[in-house]
Structure 1
Amino acid sequence: MARRTTLTLNPTVSSRSSRRRLIAVPALLAALALTAACSNSSGGSGDGGGGGGQSLSGDCAKYQPYAGHSGTTVTMFASILSPESDNLEKSWAEFSRCTGIRISYEGSNDFESQLPVRVAGGNTPDFAIIPQPGLLAQMVKSGKVVKPPAGTVANQDRWSPVWKTYGSVNGTFYAAPMSANMKSLVWYSPKSFKAAGYEVPKTWADLMALSERIARAGAAKPWCGGIASGTATGWPATDWLEEVVLGTYGGEVYDQWVGHRVKFSDEKITTAMRTVADWMQNPAWVNGGYGDVKSIATTTFQDAGAPLLTGKCLMLQQASFYKAQWPKDTRIGPDGDIFAFHLPAVNPAIPSPVEGGGEFLTAFASRPEVQAVQNYLSSSEWASSRVRTATGWVSANQGVDKSLYTDPIDRLSADALTDPGATFRFDASDMMPAAVGSGQEWKSLTAWFAEGQSIQKTAADIDAAWPQ
């Protein structure tokens, strides 16, 4: 599941409004003058671009294709919270200043449950950033999703064709990919490894042997873990299962599982669940710094890695976007406080399995200013701007110069996501129907960890939730 939230929430709209009212008049006039220097409002075009009568100059000239809609506002709803959402808003700040289009952003830890409620209740945002193709399909079925304009469609030429399929429902393209992330990482402390004489494992067998060696040494638990995430509690456990299924059986069985041609109760999947249990439900191996196996269900995924910095656990399986959770003064790199390595395949015959996730910009309105924002946020120019705002964010947009990735984790992830020899697959639970992938599977896997529920019942309950 491609969750990218953090615990620190954005300031509320009311608090932002209060701060705006405190701006001194001279500062306000200066801001208005700056905006006027870059844009002059006028009517816009029907495809969200063309500039109309609004002429942009200087640093703003590059936004001319999106001009003509000054003074308008579009709303956006997503699961991305501060501090990551702060960087997201920075990525379009210049676009907003130059074009005069304000993007009113709201993040929620209950995004997946709240979006359908808002859409059904008529409180639909102009945009939603949806991390699950299954949820996208549910929204398309509501009849409220608007097909993207021609400019957004044209921008898909800069992505591998498979990404367009992830943003499509029944062969029709609806949602442009915005980001990509590498799920198949293990975070660790190079400092702790070096002090104990441990080496980064290259195979699954080596990883399991290292885990046993760490446990026997007794100074720390080999693994940390946390799957609590508000109404999305359970999603990290789906990643662990997906990594094992892909790394054991490869892409073909993985695809059959996503389509329920291979059920959760199939021997292949229950065998994969036993592999996960031997790994992340091993009482001798988890949950360093927090408690026993059941504590994984009550530890937030954001907090799960903190014991790596204190030496209470030595490894955490989490996605590339977890980088945003480390304290700002954390040194990240091969010789730093924290780094990561590629999770090895369970079956060495599977070539470089890579599970990834992503986010898709979905529109519920077709006003010209909405289309202008849609065209910009699907462009290579925006993706490059987003890379520049902060580390910890990766795009599979081929128009992004890889030299922009100054962070070693980002570069590691970008290389893996674009490796033509890798066995890449999108997050399975995000591809499954929303009732399963972001519903019953989260619930059942949480019960598997929190209550010790059997593999058989866990699998059967998920299968029973599959739409007929």
Structure 2
Amino acid sequence: MIAPRKQRRLTAIAASTLTLALAVSACGAPEEDSNLSDKEKDCASYEKYGDFKDKDAEVSIYTPITDAEGDAYEKSWAYFAECTGIDVKYTGSNDFEAQIEVKVKGGKAPDIAFFPQPGLMARYKDKMVPASKKLVKEAEKGWSEDWLQYGTFDDELYAQPMSASLKSLVWYSPKYFKDNDLEVPETWDDLLAVSDKIAKTDVKPWCAGIESGEATGWPVTDWVEDALLRESGGELYDKWVNHEIAFNDKRIVKALDKVGGILKNKDYVNGGYGDVDSMAKVSFEEGGQPIVKGECAMHRQASFYAAQWPEGTKVGPDGDVFAFFLPGNKAEEKPLLGAGEFVAAFRDDPEVHAVREFLASELYVNARLKTGPLAFSHKGADPKNADNELNKMVIELYQDEGAEFRFDGSDQMPGHVGSKSFFVEMTKWIKGKSSKDALDAIEKSWDE
């Protein structure tokens, strides 16, 4: 799902390619960052990665992450670069998905790339360098098998996870809930009960927007994936994503109907905008905005939606808006749908392995948390280091031992399905097409 992924991650970012110059060199100290701990600034912490000061070592990193977020990444490894003597050259590009193909096929692949989609990364597995034994050990210590499977090919780890966003969230107004004696729901039935209570007032329980240019419809695909995880679990979800069961299997129909119980319920939607059909005309960026206007109570969208609220909006448990976990069928169930980046390498040299191993470490993860907004699924990430309450909550959910994580399904499917027919049919579904007819059409498209 290449185009929509770019939209989701880079909505507020200027459409330009940005090359960021590292703020340190082998002969100069990093720019001081008071947020980092003494350990993160002490060269003794980096001795295990080797000494490259006399080796003119340079490692290039190419990613889809630009501007301020790219600056934050550079600050997070500045002391590593200074202490090891590795000159890390970072380039962030809004045209990553197209340019990585040009670079790899042209024999000019970066030393390291941060891939936002497992499906995209899999295209280049024959060119990628497998993880070293040290990296495998570090990665297995840091991430669950649920996460590592997406960077594993032919039973060998090639790429460890990087950052993580969480999609299984519902945005709401804490003040509205408090003023109306509403409690954050712990189960799906609770969620419907809260929705029913709100529906009896002059405020609609839900608001949504699914318009996104050529990618219109993608927000519904996230709803479907979340519902399927809740109804059938990760094993069946994987079979569906890999087309080991039909796209229109009766269990998928059931999951879509579960979503329809909210999105196609005229008593529930579309707060601030109109009827059910209005969702197809409202952009995903605008979808949740009626919450801050008091016209809508809830909006299901990922953690990255925090950047969409109007300037001055306070995000937090006592703020203007916050989010809660989209509950499972039982309170103890924690099905998590998410996305993130993976670290892959195209050069097999000691300095490249050193950078990869550092990026998989607890030391790095916690340094990165302190240099700018981000969340990780790494087991060693300390929620206290998160720069806001939302990312703290995301980290805690990912670290829940009872959580079952799955990566965005449409991002893993063939492009003509995951980012085309799936989008198109979910838009038609919002406009009135039946669940079975929409899923039948997607199934038919799979082999076309």
Aligned Cα root-mean-square deviation (Å): 3.6
* CA distance in 1 between partners of 2:56 and 2:442 (Å): 49
* CA distance in 2 between partners of 1:228 and 1:270 (Å): 23
Q: 1:37 to 1:204 in 2, by over 3 A?
A: closer
1:153 matched residue in structure 2: 136
1:411 matched residue in structure 2: 392
1:174-253 alignment to 2 at 5 Å?
Answer: 174-218=158-202, 220-229=203-212, 233-253=216-236
Residue number among 41, 62, 83 corresponding to 1:76 in the alignment? 62
Determine if contact 1:265/1:463 at 8 Å carries over to the other structure.
Answer: yes
Q: 1:453 to 1:320 in 2, by over 3 A?
A: same
Residue number among 107, 110, 117 corresponding to 1:132 in the alignment? 117
Residue number among 295, 317, 338 corresponding to 1:356 in the alignment? 338
Determine if contact 1:182/1:320 at 8 Å carries over to the other structure.
Answer: yes
Residue number among 277, 291, 298 corresponding to 1:315 in the alignment? 298
Task: Give the TM-score, by structure 1 length.
Answer: 0.78
Residue number among 153, 164, 170 corresponding to 2:154 in the alignment? 170
CA apart distance, 1:375: 2.5
Determine if contact 1:444/1:458 at 8 Å carries over to the other structure.
Answer: yes
1:456 matched residue in structure 2: 436
* CA distance in 2 between partners of 1:414 and 1:390 (Å): 15
- Which amino acid in structure 2 is aligned with residue 131 of structure 1? P
* CA distance in 1 between partners of 2:216 and 2:380 (Å): 35
CA apart distance, 1:259: 3.1
* CA distance in 1 between partners of 2:315 and 2:70 (Å): 21
- Which amino acid in structure 2 is aligned with residue 8 of structure 1? A
* CA distance in 1 between partners of 2:350 and 2:214 (Å): 34
The secondary structure found in structure 2 opposite 1:331 is coil
* Further displaced range: 232-241 or 96-105: 96-105
CA apart distance, 1:93: 4.0
* CA distance in 2 between partners of 1:327 and 1:97 (Å): 39
2:11 matched residue in structure 1: 7
The secondary structure found in structure 1 opposite 2:305 is helix
1:427 matched residue in structure 2: 408
Q: 1:211 to 1:188 in 2, by over 3 A?
A: same
Q: Which runs of 5+ in 2 are unaligned?
A: 31-39
* CA distance in 2 between partners of 1:246 and 1:135 (Å): 23
- Which amino acid in structure 2 is aligned with residue 459 of structure 1? L
Q: 1:295 to 1:382 in 2, by over 3 A?
A: farther
* CA distance in 1 between partners of 2:230 and 2:144 (Å): 22
The secondary structure found in structure 2 opposite 1:187 is strand
CA apart distance, 1:339: 1.8
- Which amino acid in structure 1 is aligned with residue 394 of structure 2? S
* CA distance in 2 between partners of 1:316 and 1:76 (Å): 34
Determine if contact 2:61/2:110 at 8 Å carries over to the other structure.
Answer: yes
The secondary structure found in structure 2 opposite 1:262 is coil
The secondary structure found in structure 1 opposite 2:365 is helix
Listed one character per residue, the Cα deviations across residues 52-103 of structure 1 (whole Å, up to 9, x for unaligned) are: xxxxx9845544525526573514122x455544433443344445545233
Q: Which runs of 5+ in 1 are unaligned?
A: 21-30, 40-56
1:36 matched residue in structure 2: 27
Count of residue pairs brought into register by the alignment? 429
Q: 1:111 to 1:294 in 2, by over 3 A?
A: farther
2:36 matched residue in structure 1: none
The secondary structure found in structure 2 opposite 1:199 is coil
